[in-house]
């Protein structure tokens, strides 16, 4: 129980670091009050350009990766095929990544006004299933080049991750990944409702 608790608390605190807000502040912008009001990579790119958005991209991904590594460390670091999380490490790592995504979405350090957790999920998935993550990166690059659209490359890569994970992990792990992705869907739904009210 203790490893799970540490994983959740650590993951939530890591996820709560408001990278986009901090980067935006350095440029005199609050992304929660500009564009689509989403404090994440895409809004920062549209408001301030690639140069300012790259640290947000890296920071939001690293939050998920760091949370997953915390979960792995406190649970004995059990891994299987090509580093895929296994055994007693599965629940704490999934819990840590979920908590980081929740922290990103409802950050304690930024008035609970956060982003949609896509990059935090992706960074966490790199710990959950490294080989599927690597294939996802290859798919991202290939699709982006073929369609000349990084946005479409990202969509294809992210939505392909559960299918790619099936090549290396049992179906129950893929179901867990699906639950993580439901958090992203929840955030998009909340954003749509807020937009209609506005």
Length of the chain as a residue count: 198
What per-residue confidence (pLDDT) applies to 110?
Answer: 87
Taking the model in full, what pTM does it have? 0.94
Write out pLDDT tens, residues 10-32: 999 999 999 999 999 999 999 99
Q: Are 104 and 63 in contact (CB under 8 A)?
A: yes
Q: Are 136 and 58 in contact (CB under 8 A)?
A: no
The closest alpha carbon to 113, from 28, 43, 66, belongs to 43
DSSP bridge pairs for 85? 79
* pLDDT by residue, tens only, the chain of 198 residues: 888 999 999 999 999 999 999 999 999 999 999 888 889 999 999 999 999 999 999 999 999 999 999 999 999 999 998 999 999 999 999 999 999 999 999 999 988 889 999 999 999 999 999 999 999 999 999 999 999 999 999 999 999 999 999 999 999 999 999 999 999 999 888 877 877 776
Look at residue 41 and give its three-state secondary structure.
helix
DSSP bridge pairs for 79? 85
Q: State whether the Cα torsion 168-172-174-176 is positive or negative.
A: negative
Q: How many helices (H) and strands (E) does the chain have?
A: 9, 0
Distances in whole angstroms, Cα of residue 42 to Cα of each of 35, 46, 73, 122, 156:
10, 6, 32, 15, 16
What per-residue confidence (pLDDT) applies to 81?
Answer: 87
What per-residue confidence (pLDDT) applies to 198?
Answer: 62
Q: Are 125 and 100 in contact (CB under 8 A)?
A: no
| Strand segments (E) across 68-156 | none
Helix axes 90-105, 118-128, angle to 10 degrees: 170
What per-residue confidence (pLDDT) applies to 171?
Answer: 97
The closest alpha carbon to 35, from 55, 16, 49, belongs to 49
């Amino acid at each position: 129980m203790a490893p799970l608790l540490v994983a959740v608390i650590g993951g939530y605190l890591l996820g709560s670091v408001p990278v986009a807000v901090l980067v935006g502040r350095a440029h005199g912008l609050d992304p929660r009050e500009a564009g689509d009001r989403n404090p994440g990579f895409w809004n920062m790119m549209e408001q301030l350009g690639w140069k300012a958005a790259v640290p947000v991209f890296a920071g939001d991904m690293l939050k998920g990766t760091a949370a997953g590594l915390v979960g792995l460390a406190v649970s004995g670091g059990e891994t299987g095929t090509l580093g895929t999380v296994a055994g007693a490490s599965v629940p704490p790592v999934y819990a840590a990544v979920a908590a980081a995504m929740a922290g990103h979405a409802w950050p304690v350090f930024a008035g609970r006004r956060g982003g949609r957790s896509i990059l935090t999920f992706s960074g966490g998935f790199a710990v959950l299933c490294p080989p599927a993550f690597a294939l996802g990166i290859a798919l991202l690059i290939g699709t982006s080049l073929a369609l000349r659209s990084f946005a479409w490359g990202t969509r294809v890569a992210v939505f392909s991750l559960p299918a790619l994970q099936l090549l290396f992990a049992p179906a129950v792990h893929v179901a867990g990944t699906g639950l993580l992705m439901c958090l992203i869907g929840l955030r998009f739904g909340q954003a749509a409702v807020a937009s209609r009210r506005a």
